[in-house]
Amino acid sequence: MTGARIPNNHPRAESLRLREKLADSFVEGVVAVSGLIAHGRGEAFDYILGEKTSKPALRAIEAAAAALLTAESPVISVNGNTAALAAEEVVKLSDTTASKIEVNLFYRSFERELAIKKLLEKAGAKEVLGVGKDASAKIPELRSQRRRVDPKGILVADLVMVPLEDGDRTEALIKMGKRVIAVDLNPLSRTAQKATITIVDNIVRCAPKLIETAEKLKEQSNEERVRILEDFDNRENLAHSIVLMKKRLEKLAQKTCRRGRERCDH
């Protein structure tokens, strides 16, 4: 665990490093214990995806960049796992797209809020909303701690990005008339299915790509950004991600079966 040495030539070195980052962040009070379970679930889906950014993910990244740049008051919602894995990228993305950053936790405690705020500030964030008494507003319908939001942030946002989260918040935000960008390796999760734009990819791979795409799209006209958004169909794109997983599993099954391709086709 913490402090363990991972040999560079280990076949799963990158994945082990991420695990270690999560474990360290748990010890530092950033990640919730359930965040470690969530990471494991993400790893399993990533394994099926081949740990690569897929074409549907690239399409969703482009749409997400266009959405962030065309929104009037976009907010990036940050939980423990997102802060642990992508604090610097969150700050860069917020700078590039003029989005606000708000801490929003399922397992809310003042200590965790402060630890996450500190991490984001260390990564360069000038303002972090939603901490302590600042989260004084409530999302109607939600019963969990996620309902507590900042009146200067998520409450008045027209677009909210919710990385690494599953639950009923996306539905509630959409009912409030907001658009939602999800980042979720599980295309079947409630959040992935209900979001306006779902990036089915690992946050550590897609966050730098999202920043790069937003930087490029900033140079384009607003008409071009609107066109990208109008052309994007999230349900269709999600279906492509699911089919991609199915095809990869089929390939892996054929590779695994020693009795020949035909006998393993079901």
Share in percent of the chain as helix, strand, coil (round to 5):
60, 10, 30
Cβ 185 to ligand PTJ shortest distance, Å: 4
CA distances from 38 to 71, 164, 184, 223, 250 (A): 29, 8, 11, 38, 26
In the set 183, 217, 228, 238, which binds ligand PTJ (CB under 6 A)? 183
DSSP state of 185: S
Candidates 5, 85, 13; CA nearest to 42 is 85
Nearer to ligand PTJ, 70 or 105 (CB): 105
Question: Does 202 engage in binding with ligand PTJ (CB under 6 A)?
Answer: yes
Cβ 181 to ligand PTJ shortest distance, Å: 12
Cβ 136 to ligand PTJ shortest distance, Å: 18
What does the angle CA 221 – CA 223 – CA 229 come to, to the nearest 5 degrees? 115
In the set 117, 184, 209, 217, which binds ligand PTJ (CB under 6 A)? 184
Stretch in the footprint of ligand PTJ (CB under 6 A) among 33-41, 67-75, 147-155, 208-216:
33-41
Tokens representing 161 are 């990005």
Question: Does 62 engage in binding with ligand PTJ (CB under 6 A)?
Answer: no
Nearer to ligand PTJ, 48 or 264 (CB): 48
Half-sphere exposure of 218 (CA within 13 A, CB side): 12
Nearer to ligand PTJ, 102 or 165 (CB): 165
Question: Does 185 engage in binding with ligand PTJ (CB under 6 A)?
Answer: yes
Question: Does 34 engage in binding with ligand PTJ (CB under 6 A)?
Answer: yes
SS3 for 164? coil
Cβ 230 to ligand PTJ shortest distance, Å: 26
Question: Does 41 engage in binding with ligand PTJ (CB under 6 A)?
Answer: yes
Cβ 183 to ligand PTJ shortest distance, Å: 5
How many other β-carbons are positioned within 10 Å of the β-carbon of residue 98? 12
> In the sheet that 197-199 helps form, which strands lie side by side, from edge to edge?
100-103, 74-78, 159-163, 179-183, 197-199
d(CA 53, CA 208): 11
Nearer to ligand PTJ, 65 or 103 (CB): 103
d(CA 102, CA 74): 10
Tokens representing 87 are 């604090």
In the set 25, 70, 77, 79, which binds ligand PTJ (CB under 6 A)? 79
Cβ 176 to ligand PTJ shortest distance, Å: 19
Question: Does 213 engage in binding with ligand PTJ (CB under 6 A)?
Answer: no
In the set 19, 25, 26, 32, which binds ligand PTJ (CB under 6 A)? 32
Contact 100, 77 (CB under 8 A): no
Chain position whose Cβ is nearest to ligand PTJ: 42
Footprint on this chain of ligand PTJ (rule: CB under 6 A) = 32, 34-35, 38-39, 41-42, 45, 79-81, 85, 105-107, 164-167, 183-186, 189, 202-203
